[in-house]
Amino acid sequence: MFAMNNSASVSYILSSELLLTGTCNQKCGHCSVVNNDSPLLSLNDLNRKLKNLSENGASEVALISGEYPQDYPHIQIALSQYGFSSFYDYLREACLAALSHKLIPVLRVGYLDSSMLASLENTGAVIKIDVVSSNQTGAGECFEFARRRTPKAGRKAIEAVHRHRIPYSLGFITGIGESESDRLEMIREISEFCGADPYLQDVRIAYFQPEPNCLLKHRPPLGFESVKRIVIALRKAFPVHHISIPPFLFNRYPELVEHGLNDLGSVPIFTGSTAYSDFFMPSYENMKLRLLKINSHLYERSPLTTPAAMNRPELSETLVAVNQKIEKRNRAPISLIDNDYCFVCGVRNPISLKIPTKASTKGNTCTFSWTPGPHFQSYAGVLHGGIINTLLDEAMGYAIMGENLCRLIVTADMKVKYLRPAPIGLPITIAATVSGQKRNHIFARGSVISQDGSVIAEAEGHFVEMINKAGPIATENTGTENIVGTSHC
């Protein structure tokens, strides 16, 4: 933990998660991800998702699967269809695909054998290893149906990744039935075992939170005092490492920072959590405000923390791109992150309007059609004026950002003229274009047009550019005056 006067600095990784398959040959009682009917994600779909995550600004992507899914016939068939002779080869290509999109690949795929680890050398991968503090293989215990989950197996997994010189993140599974003495003793033993390992990147509390579809769903989670003692033990055992907890636990206990917590780990803002899908990921601004209340400072860090991890040749280009993203975000006055949860266009938002504004933007114009339903009305049969305002704001914003989405902007001012009612149940068209600019102040106008061609509303908007990834845009008022902003190309 870095001292800043009387405050603490807390780091986090701007992360994402992609489920390759939930198929697993283990059945751990604490796991809520396993689904042995789960298909295998194709590389075409994987690349499409990786491209979107990279464009949105993720630093890393956690590639998640069950352990040894190739033991199941439907996974073997899928591997053959995709042109792979083994799951090892598939994982290798998935990691290389992440690198090609300038994302650091992080594998959460259970314990790997030596042949699989050999195939992952030179892929830029980081492996997440979770260890347990006691044997829980008896009837009704967490690993009754996962006999390979023992303290000894965890140490062997650490030895294996070190032998293959692959960086790893170490998690201590807690709250699954182990005693406190076993828990704290395991932390001490593991720190003596690998605390000085140059391939160890960070240390995590893999905290058990009951979920409806896990076998231990009735086990209560550990309380604050127990978690506090774990944090204190980890800080003592790993004094120079990042010590992190899951985002949902930080939301519950931010005061753990006062006891040695100095990291929030990988926060999957772009995708949400695979294991805890009902938990809404906190934004940067949300985490920052919670930390300010306890006099702590939040900053983004790289997923890689040691020279042994960072100096791998295959990572050189990706690490430069990742560090540039991180540096610019840490310098920015406000965090502007597109995590596909926008009310108008967000594909992950269950109540979004699902309007494809990105695909509807050509050059510096944005045009799309939409049919309002009755739940968006004000008076009976009439579309609410606030929705009209929102659609115009969205269209003008995308017109300014352009089809390559090279600019991040915020709305400064907006004026709307409502000319006639917009009927519910009939399609309307929203069109917007850039009308002028002065330095990083950009202006746009937009219209809402009915099915018969009459104008329902008109708007003028004033927007401020925060980040500029491209050159100047042409406008009818000022030509190609350069916009003052941070280059992001």
Query: pLDDT tens-digit profile of 27-47?
Result: 999 998 888 899 999 999 999
Tell me the average pLDDT across 361-368.
95
**For residue 475, is pLDDT > 50?**
no
What is the residue type of 422?
Answer: A
Contact (Cβ atoms closer than 8 angstroms) between residue 418 and residue 451: no
Q: How far apart are the C-alpha atoms of 272 and 208, rounded to whole Å?
A: 17
The per-residue pLDDT for 328 is 87
The per-residue pLDDT for 483 is 32
The per-residue pLDDT for 213 is 83
> Distance of CA 6 to CAs 258, 297, 466, 477, Å?
11, 11, 31, 51
The total number of residues shown for the chain amounts to: 489
Q: How far apart are the C-alpha atoms of 38 and 32, rounded to whole Å?
A: 13
**For residue 279, is pLDDT > 60?**
yes
Considering only 140-149, 353-362, 365-374, 429-438, which range has the smallest mean pLDDT? 140-149
The per-residue pLDDT for 317 is 96
At 336, is the secondary structure helix, strand, or coil?
Answer: coil
Tell me the average pLDDT across 330-356.
88
Give the pair of three-digit tokens for residue 478.
């000022």
pLDDT tier, 275 (very low <50, low <70, confident <90, very high otherwise): confident
Q: Tokens 């933007």 belong to which residue?
A: 361
Read off the pTM: 0.85
**For residue 210, is pLDDT > 80?**
yes
Write the pLDDT tens digit of every residue in 166-188. 999 999 999 999 999 999 999 99
The per-residue pLDDT for 469 is 52
The per-residue pLDDT for 478 is 35
Write the pLDDT tens digit of every residue in 380-411. 999 999 999 999 999 999 999 998 887 889 99
Tell me the average pLDDT across 328-341.
83
All structural domains of the chain: 3-331 (3.20.20.70), 361-487 (3.10.129.10)
**For residue 344, is pLDDT > 60?**
yes
Q: How far apart are the C-alpha atoms of 405 and 390, rounded to whole Å?
A: 19
pLDDT tier, 211 (very low <50, low <70, confident <90, very high otherwise): confident
**For residue 238, is pLDDT > 90?**
yes
Q: What is the mean pLDDT of the chain?
A: 90
Dihedral sign, Cα of residue 433, residue 436, residue 440, residue 444: negative
Q: How far apart are the C-alpha atoms of 118 and 131, rounded to whole Å?
A: 21
Most confident range (mean pLDDT) of 2-6, 72-76, 485-489 is 72-76
Contact (Cβ atoms closer than 8 angstroms) between residue 112 and residue 156: no
The per-residue pLDDT for 280 is 76
% residues pLDDT > 90 (the chain) = 73
Tell me the average pLDDT across 306-326.
96
Of residues 454 and 277, more confidence is placed in: 454
Q: How far apart are the C-alpha atoms of 28 and 177, rounded to whole Å?
A: 13
Q: How far apart are the C-alpha atoms of 430 and 436, rounded to whole Å?
A: 19
Q: Hey, how many other C-beta atoms are within 10 angstroms of the C-beta on 156?
A: 13
